[in-house]
Amino acid sequence: MLAEQVEDSRDNRILKGFDMADLDMETFRVYRQIFSNREPGHPWNELNDQEYLRQIGGWKKDRETGGSGLTVAGLLMFGQMVSIQDEFPNYMLDYQEREDDKAERRWVDRITLDGKWSGNLYDFYRKVYLKLTADLKVPFVLEKGERKDETPVHVALREALANTLVHADYFRELRFWW
């Protein structure tokens, strides 16, 4: 938040040399499908991919130069790992599940940038959220005639994960002090 006070908005900056080819289109299609399912009558559902991306802030037109291109937000949200790391060499996502706090066992489950998935924020969010909520109990509750499949714990975990990813500083090198 402090970084945003210094600069207008760092995530809407147009990236030079990046375009739609730098996106993981499968991730983008999943995002669009989920949006369409939630908002079936929304006019954005009829837009082509680039115009849809512009509407959600992933593509931008520079009014001064007339140029347009992929934004930082678009790349981080839907990009391919190698393209993201071209712009952010220190970009790293790492989820680790541990059985306990003992140091002898490092982790029992992990999602990291291993080349087996796109490496973008949206895919990471979806993978980690499923891990975080996999064992949560969901009582049977009907709301407006339909089963409610989430609890306040689901909502809190979703918000915490989203806030962690949204407010991370992808612009600076992370340093760990021992």
> 């680790």: which residue's tokens?
96
| pLDDT per position as a tens digit, 13-68 | 999 999 999 999 999 999 999 999 999 999 999 999 999 999 999 999 999 998 99
Tokens of 105: 């066992």
Residue 176 lies in a domain: no
**Predicted local distance difference test score (pLDDT) of residue 173:** 55
In a domain, 177, yes or no: no
- The reported pLDDT for the residue numbered 102 is 66
Please report whether residue 175 resides in a domain: no
pLDDT value at position 77? Answer: 97
Tell me whether residue 109 is in a domain: yes
pLDDT-based confidence at 4, cuts 50/70/90? very low
Q: What is the pLDDT of residues 123-167, one digit of tens each?
A: 999 999 999 888 888 888 888 888 888 888 889 999 999 998 888
Helices (H), 24-171: 25-38, 49-55, 72-78, 81-87, 121-133, 152-167
Cα angle 75, 134, 114; round to 5: 40
Q: What would the mean pLDDT of 94-106 be, rounded to a whole number?
A: 75
Length of the chain: 178
Q: How many domains does the chain fold into?
A: 1
Does some domain include residue 89?
yes
178 belongs to a structural domain: no
H-run or E-run covering 96: strand 94-97
Q: Domain range holding 95?
A: 2-167
Kindly state whether residue 76 falls inside one of the protein's structural domains.
yes
pLDDT of residue 118: 97
The answer to whether position 143 is within a domain reads: yes
pTM as predicted: 0.83
